[in-house]
Amino acid sequence: MLVSGGAGYIGTHTCVALIEAGYDVVVVDNFSNSEASAIKGVEQITGRDIAFEQVDTCDIEALRGVFLRHEFDTVIHFAAFKAVGESVAEPLKYYMNNLTSFMNVCALMKEYGRPNILFSSSATVYGEPDALPVTEQSPRQPATSPYGNTKQMCEDILRDCCHAYDGVDGIALRYFNPIGAHPSALIGELPRGVPNNLVPFITQTAAGIRECLSIFGSDYPTADGTCLRDYIDVVDLAEAHVAAINRMVGGKMEEKYEIFNIGTGRPVSVLELVNTFERVNGLKLNYKMAPRRTGDVCSVWADTSLANSELGWKARRSLDETLASAWAWEKHVRNI
């Protein structure tokens, strides 16, 4: 199985889950937003050497070499730039990277007769939803960033390829908000520079790397005035990929292209998340309320009943457990 972007946050956890489920993996990554140490962490956890190729998936001839050197019938495509703010400032960078890399994967899968593509999509495609929770049938809203637009466009590319080419099947998993780390604390989220996601900002504030955590928006129409999100443990998310792969390789897909929401189905406010982190880890965070950020959605969470029934998968880990793992990972990284 080929895992593009397999040295990244979700990629490493998925590699662990795949190996533990009995699959062999080949990881492709160019380390543009990841570290070689992440692969070592996967190897430590699984006790297996990882077949690794340092290749940019935007380079189709380099990627072709991977297809020629390795036998696999399935690819999980994680490789993409993912910073929303940066995508607004540098849209061409995001369109060129995220679309080219995925189209290269699809083209080579078709050319070499490799049938199964699992695409890493996002709940960002739902935008500010008209009704909650969102189902897979909820309308996609116009993207609020080039990053979000690339997710929608890649979904469309995969759908059209599956419908056009007999030998290609695809599943898109729409993630909600992945957080936490592997319970071993050997792999986790390791952002470069200022974090784009909330939990690394929380853990870096707790570690003294960041002076203060800003909570953007305290006047939303929610119980405590802060945004509501669906936070899913990254290990639960990784296991959803295994369930989706089992469906694909087991010949259980009912359509050539399928979509599944991957979340917990439980909305949690930003303030609740911060307070839970403090309680679970016995810490007091320095945080302040700040004005709303442009483009932030007030509330979004998943209806996961389709994934529960069709994939036989369900998020199992508690928020307490997840936030404890996030802090354990931060302490490991900082040698605290």
Active centre residues (catalytic): 147
Distance of alpha carbon 113 from alpha carbon 239, whole angstroms: 26
User: Which stretches of 128-212 are assigned E, i.e. beta strand?
Assistant: 169-175, 177-179
Distance of alpha carbon 216 from alpha carbon 274, whole angstroms: 13
b/e for 258-279, b at 16 or more Cβ within 10 A?
Answer: bbbbbbbbbbbbbbbbbebbbe
User: Which stretches of the chain are assigned E, i.e. beta strand?
Assistant: 2-4, 26-29, 51-54, 74-77, 116-122, 169-175, 177-179, 213-216, 228-229, 231-233, 257-262, 268-269, 287-290
Residues written for the chain: 336
Distance of alpha carbon 155 from alpha carbon 248, whole angstroms: 17
Helix axis angle, 146-164 to 100-111, nearest 10°:
10
Backbone torsions φ then ψ of 273, nearest 5 degrees: -65, -45
Distance of alpha carbon 210 from alpha carbon 3, whole angstroms: 33
In order, the DSSP letters of 56-98 are -TT-HHHHHHHHHH---SEEEE------HHHHHH-HHHHIIII
